[in-house]
Amino acid sequence: MTDKIAFITGATSGFGRAAARRFAEAGWSLVLTGRRTERLEALQGELGVPTHIVTLDVRDADAVKQAVAELPEPFRAVTCLVNNAGLALAPEKAQDVDLADWHTMIDTNCTGLVNVTHALINSLIAIGQGASIVNIGSVAGSWPYPGSHVYGATKAFVRQFSLSLRCDLLGTGVRVTDIEPGMAETEFTLVRTKGNQAASDALYGSTTPLTAEDIAEQIFYVATLPAHININRLEIMPTRQAWAGFAVDRD
Ligand SMILES: NC(=O)c1ccc[n+]([C@@H]2O[C@H](COP(=O)([O-])OP(=O)(O)OC[C@H]3O[C@@H](n4cnc5c(N)ncnc54)[C@H](OP(=O)(O)O)[C@@H]3O)[C@@H](O)[C@H]2O)c1
């Protein structure tokens, strides 16, 4: 075991899986969570560092609490929590969305994130200097676009929760960062479109999106800065992405 342990939610795909590989490369021990057990097992088998896996739905507060309470002794002193599990659904207009999709985004991106934070916050405080919470927000939390509705609102929650946590954690040594990526090619669009591979390919095609590894590098960067430095927010876009102008309804 090393003395550095990262606890990553949503480690079965995208940013979370890439972050697991990045921390492992640097010799950190890992606690990896997600709902797809076979992917967690495959990742555990690939990484050459001590890795504890837990099949976990972050929406289930009791299961989250139990997973943290049952961490094997060598994995208990978590140094860095990466609150990455999340999703967007329903890219159509707000007025055409199923209410269940809105609830799923709120339950995962907001409730799930606070469930995990609550379960680990006191052990992070016990670590103190050098401990980190890295939350994965989104540019959608600051910049609205058609179809961002509740997804954007959940990521605004992540940003404000991150900033608010900093106030309460002042003096504990625990850092909090909200990483806010723009367009990055992962399974994100496949999930958002409920399996439409062509839509995913069209979005990421003919341009240069961020990669999961790009974001993993930033997660690792903020978590390994000298203990006296806290990056509050880190907004990252591909060079080939920018904002559109204001939309105007005309006669
Ligand atoms: N890709 C982008 O363009 C982009 C941009 C900005 C922000 N983000 C944010 O980045 C984070 C990671 O997304 P990604 O792009 O890496 O997408 P991804 O490839 O779809 O990965 C999402 C991860 O979240 C996990 N997850 C989803 N719901 C969960 C739940 N209820 N309980 C536990 N785990 C859950 C998934 O694991 P299981 O399905 O196995 O549970 C998966 O490992 C999300 O918070 C997303 O909102 C993405």
Q: Confirm or reject: Cβ of 14 under 6 Å from ligand 1.
A: yes
Which atom of ligand 1 is least distant from the CA of 88? 47
Whether 83 and 134 have beta carbons less than 8 Å apart is answered as: yes
Mutate to test the pocket of ligand 1, among 7, 13, 57 (most ligand atoms within 8 A of CB): 13
What is the C-alpha to C-alpha distance for residues 94 and 92, in angstroms, rounded to an integer?
A: 7
Taking only the tens place, the pLDDT of each residue in 49-77 is 999 999 999 999 999 999 999 999 999 99
- Dig out the tokens for 58 from the structure: 């972050």
How far is residue 150's CA from residue 105's CA, in Å, rounded to a whole number? 7
Cβ atoms of 152 and 251 within 8 Å: the answer is no
Tens of pLDDT, residue by residue over 136-174, are 999 999 999 999 999 999 999 999 999 999 999 999 999
Tens of pLDDT, residues 166-221: 999 999 999 999 999 999 999 999 999 999 999 999 999 999 999 999 999 999 99
pLDDT tens digit sequence for 77-100: 999 999 999 999 999 999 999 999
For the whole model, what pTM was predicted? 0.98
Q: Which residues are catalytic?
A: 151
Q: Are 182 and 237 in contact (CB under 8 A)?
A: yes
DSSP 35: S
Nearest CA to ligand 1 atom 39: 35
Distance 173 CA to ligand 1 centre (A): 28
What is the C-alpha separation between 33 and 51, in angstroms, rounded?
Answer: 11
**Rounded Cα–Cα distance for residues 200 and 23 (Å):** 28
What is the best residue among 8, 32, 111, 186 to mutate for testing ligand 1's pocket, by most ligand atoms within 8 Å of CB?
A: 186
Q: How confident is the model at residue 2 (pLDDT cuts 50, 70, 90)?
A: low
The whole-angstrom separation of Cα 155 and Cα 212 is: 18
Ligand 1 pocket residue status of 136, Cβ below 6 Å: yes
